């Protein structure tokens, strides 16, 4: 009986999702595919970033916005910016076929929680939604490597205006956690890599955010890649 009650409780609060894509066929296809997972419910669909914002402002319940990058009127980069400015706690996951350097960086700088390419299997998209909903950052490994190269140009000389990382007061373990975040690892993966508990990793993340005066994990990743 207890087990049955626990199962019912687990199903009470599925992740509420707004789908944003200018292609109606993709929207409807994703709505059907994602709806097969009992842990996700699509509460609204939009054809551009501004429509997604309007849904949120009208009271549509959502925990995650799944957002295409290239859309007319208001693309995913701008959509992320305006959504995060009004709903800073909203998780935005970018989903696109375009492996575009400039769009990737802008989306992350605007507060996107992660980025996936559309050619990944549906179960990876579902897992990605659950990952960013849990507060972790999600970046495709190929994109993470590319970001490192873009934000750390080989020809850029070291200057005194950029203080060394230890000047920020980070401990060796905090640095290790921050580096793992910049590689796109989740708290669970960081815990396994550094032989820590997930709770300890969360505490380190909180300390890092405080010491670097940053808002979220995405900003930690960008900070580390730039440095």
Residue 7 exposure: Cα atoms within 13 Å on the Cβ side: 5
**Residue of 10, 114, 122, 104 whose CA lies nearest to 64:** 114
Q: Lowest-confidence range among 75-79, 100-104, 183-187? A: 100-104
For 64-68, 78-82, 160-164, 179-183, which range has the lowest pLDDT when averaged over its residues? Answer: 160-164
CA distances from 156 to 57, 149, 162, 167, 179 (A): 43, 11, 12, 20, 21
pTM of the model: 0.71
Is the per-residue pLDDT at 165 higher than 80?
A: no
Statement: residue 106 has pLDDT above 60 = yes
pLDDT for residue 137: 80
d(CA 96, CA 75): 11
Provide the pLDDT for residue 157: 47
Whether residue 133 has pLDDT greater than 70: yes
pLDDT tens digits along 181-216 = 888 788 888 999 999 898 899 999 999 999 988 888
pLDDT for residue 182? 81
Interatomic CA distance for residues 178 and 163, integer angstroms: 17
Angle at which helices 101-109 and 76-86 cross, to 10°: 0
Question: Average pLDDT in the 45-74 region?
Answer: 95
Domains of the chain listed by start with CATH number: 2-142 (3.40.50.2300), 160-226 (1.10.10.10)
Out of 27-31, 69-73, 147-151, pick the least confident: 147-151
Return the structure tokens found at 29. 């296809």
Please say if the pLDDT value at position 75 is more than 90.
yes
């Amino acid at each position: 009986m207890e087990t049955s009650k626990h199962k019912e409780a687990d199903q009470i609060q599925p992740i509420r999702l707004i789908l944003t894509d200018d292609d109606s066929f993709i929207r409807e296809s994703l709505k059907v595919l994602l709806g097969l997972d009992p842990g996700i419910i699509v509460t609204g669909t939009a054809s551009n970033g501004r429509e997604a914002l309007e849904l949120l402002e009208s009271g549509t319940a959502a925990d995650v916005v799944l957002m295409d990058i290239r859309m007319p009127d208001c693309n995913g980069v701008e959509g992320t910016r305006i959504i995060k400015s009004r709903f800073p706690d909203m998780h935005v996951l970018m989903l696109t076929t375009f492996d575009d350097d400039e769009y990737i960086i802008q989306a992350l700088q605007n507060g996107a929680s992660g980025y996936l390419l559309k050619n990944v299997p549906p179960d990876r998209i579902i897992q990605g939604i659950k990952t960013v909903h849990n507060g972790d950052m999600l970046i495709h490994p190929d994109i993470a490597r590319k970001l490192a190269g873009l934000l750390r140009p080989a020809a850029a000389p070291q200057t005194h205006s950029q203080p060394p990382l230890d000047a920020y007061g980070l401990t060796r373990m905090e640095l290790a956690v921050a580096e793992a975040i910049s590689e796109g690892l989740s708290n669970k993966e960081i815990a396994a890599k550094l032989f820590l508990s997930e709770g300890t990793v969360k505490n380190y993340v909180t300390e890092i955010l405080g010491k670097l005066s940053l808002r979220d994990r995405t900003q930690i990743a960008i900070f580390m890649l730039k440095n």
